Amino acid sequence: MITIIDYGMGNLRSVQKAFELYYSKVRISSSFEDILTSDKVVLPGVGAFGVAMQELKKRGLTDAILDSIKKQKPFLGICLGLQLLFSESEEGDKTAGLGVLKGTVKRFQDKQDLKIPHMGWNTIRLKAQGSRLKALEGIPDDSYMYFVHSYYVEPEDRSVVLCETEYGDVFTSGICKDNICAFQFHPEKSQSVGLKIIKNFVKC
Amino acid sequence: MLTKRIIPCLDVKDGRVVKGVKFLDLKDAGDPVEVAQVYDKEGADEIVFLDITASFEKRQTMLDVVRRTAETVFMPLTVGGGIRNLNDIRDLLNAGTDKVSINTAAVKEPGLVKKSSDKFGSQCIVVAIDALRSIAGKWEVYINGGRIPTGIDALEWGKKVEALGAGEILLTSMDMDGTKDGYDIELTKAFSENLNIPIIASGGAGSLDHLYKVLTDGKADAALAASIFHFREYTIKDTKKYLKEKGVSVRI
């Protein structure tokens, strides 16, 4: 069973639909039990970091997430679900994240001609090799993915970086560490190339 | 590098595509889902459904269209038309829309832009602005499908909705809409240079050069078009190939 964690941050139907192309047992849930009894866990989400952390806590889900990660269950973070894994975010007043990975979530700097949010299709440059690239198997370097976000992650440990993307500066658009992989872009909105990531996750 | 987006827009009434889409290879060219699938295959960057259903009762059909689209099309979908409150937005997002486009309701109640972007995130709140030239270098906002003038300066309105949390502007030139004489470059450029959120240019596309001009001279982040795609004057592929050859960054 794959559980997509519902904590009130965005529509999860399209995420579920993408998984259902490859696997029949996919549920959207905000139940602690459901998460604990799943084989794989997906943390999606769009919106504000602070609100997201509050919503996770309100539902008592932070422990379920940390437990899944500790138990080495395959874990996929999407967009806000990537950012929440980090220590803290600059968004609003500094907010603590789940702290699974060390690093900060930062806002794109206002620069001339740099629109915020970063919205649309941009390329990913692969930064890892060999088995670490499993999550991106079958996905060529410089593939286009669909992004929509105003904040990006800055991991302290650069060895977790799976891919990068350029927008004003170069930022981390995907990470991988042990059983965790997470992306800033939306695989479920990135047509056939994005769906490969979903398929890889289902198969792993 | 972030690419410029090419966005086909479908007018949908009572769950059916209107303004005749001429796809010979479709079983049912009136079904928005089938048309969306074709654009998806051709590499459109997003799709916009504009719901022009008049009766309240039949508006539920749009939710069904969105649900069916989200089952098979894995690309960003925006729905606009007739959205009045947070419940309408929530229903559409839950059905599988990625972004909603608010027009008249935003003008009547600007607080809706703030409330909706706070609740659902700026990334899914598009404010649509229908602008008509007034005096030189100025445009006026019209509402109710372009029927009612508001006396509001379009550029000032754009800045205001950006401050209220809109994630993007869908900017339609009423002067150019339906003419096929090209986008309003001056209007689009004014918005793009004065706002810090992405601008989707709309209204007037008749040739590929028009798209090229609005994405370069007009500095638009995305170009929306309807009839040139629906009547197969150009495919999305033709369009992107043309733009790429002229040096515009597009996703192919």
Contact flag B74-A144 (C-beta cutoff 8 Å) = no
pLDDT at position B23 is 55
In the numeric block, which tokens belong to residue B244? 């790429």
**How many degrees, rounded to 5, is the angle at CA A80 between CA A76 and CA A81?**
25
pLDDT average, residue stretch A169-173? 97
Number of Cβ pairs < 8 A linking chain A and chain B: 96
Percent of chain B predicted with pLDDT > 90? 77
Q: Which residues of B touch A149 (CB under 8 A)?
A: 123
Q: How far is A70 from chain B (nearest CA, A)?
A: 30
In the numeric block, which tokens belong to residue B79? 């729905």
Count other Cβ atoms within 10 Å, centred on residue B62. 26
Q: Please state which of the ranges A133-142, B15-24, B100-109 shows the lowest mean pLDDT.
A: B15-24
Active site residue B130: yes
pLDDT at position B59 is 76
Q: Is residue A107's pLDDT more than 90? A: yes
Backbone angles phi, psi at B178, to 5 degrees: 85, -10
Backbone angles phi, psi at B7, to 5 degrees: -125, 110
Q: Work out the angle between the directed axes of helices B32-42 and B60-72 (0-180°, nearest 10).
A: 30
Which of B2, B70, B75 lies closest to A118 in CB terms?
B2
In whole angstroms, give the CA distance from residue A127 to residue A160. 9
Which residue blocks in A39-182 are alpha helix, DSSP H? 49-58, 62-70, 80-83
pLDDT at position A48 is 83
Residue for token pair 């918005």: B191
pLDDT at position B19 is 67
Question: CB-based contacts of A159: which residues, under 8 Å, 6+ apart?
Answer: none
CA distances from A147 to A78, B116, B188 (A): 11, 20, 23
In whole angstroms, give the CA distance from residue A11 to residue B77. 12
| DSSP track, B43-109 | T-S-EEEEE---SSGGGHHHHHHHHHHHHH--S-EEEESS--SHHHHHHHHHHT-SEEEE-HHHHH-
Contact A154, A106 (CB under 8 A): yes
Q: What pTM does this model have?
A: 0.94
pLDDT at position A75 is 97
**How many degrees, rounded to 5, is the angle at CA A99 between CA A97 and CA A103?**
90
Q: Please state which of the ranges A7-16, A92-101, A191-200 shows the lowest mean pLDDT.
A: A7-16
Q: Which residues of A touch B97 (CB under 8 A)?
A: 11
Contact flag A14-B70 (C-beta cutoff 8 Å) = yes
**How many degrees, rounded to 5, is the angle at CA A36 between CA A32 and CA A41?**
100
pLDDT band at B242 (very low <50, low <70, confident <90, very high): very high
Look at residues A11, A167, A149, A166 and name the one whose alpha carbon lies nearest to residue A83. A149
β-strands A118-126, A143-149: how paired? antiparallel
Identify which has the larger pLDDT, A77 or B230: A77
Indicate the SS3 state at residue B114: helix
**How many degrees, rounded to 5, is the angle at CA B171 between CA B166 and CA B173?**
160
Interface test with A, best of B42, B69, B73, B74 (most A CBs within 10 A): B74
Look at residues B176, B232, B231 and name the one whose alpha carbon lies nearest to residue B205. B176
Q: Which long-range contacts (CB under 8 A, 24 or more apart) does B109-114 make?
A: B110/B160, B110/B161, B110/B164, B111/B164, B112/B85, B112/B86, B113/B161, B113/B164, B113/B165, B113/B166, B114/B164, B114/B165
Q: Is residue A72's pLDDT more than 90? A: yes
Q: Is residue B11's pLDDT more than 80? A: yes
Chain B interface, Cβ < 8 Å to A = 1-5, 40, 43, 45, 67, 70-71, 74-76, 93-98, 118, 120-124, 167-168, 196-198, 221-222, 251
Q: Which DSSP state fits B235?
A: -
Which of B3, B118, B197 lies closest to A122 in CB terms?
B3
pLDDT at position A45 is 85
In the numeric block, which tokens belong to residue A40? 């794989």
Contact B194, B202 (CB under 8 A): no
pLDDT at position B24 is 53
Q: ipTM value, please give it.
A: 0.92
Count other Cβ atoms within 10 Å, centred on residue A146. 25
pLDDT average, residue stretch B65-72? 92
pLDDT band at A21 (very low <50, low <70, confident <90, very high): very high
Could you tell me the domains of chain A?
2-203 (3.40.50.880)
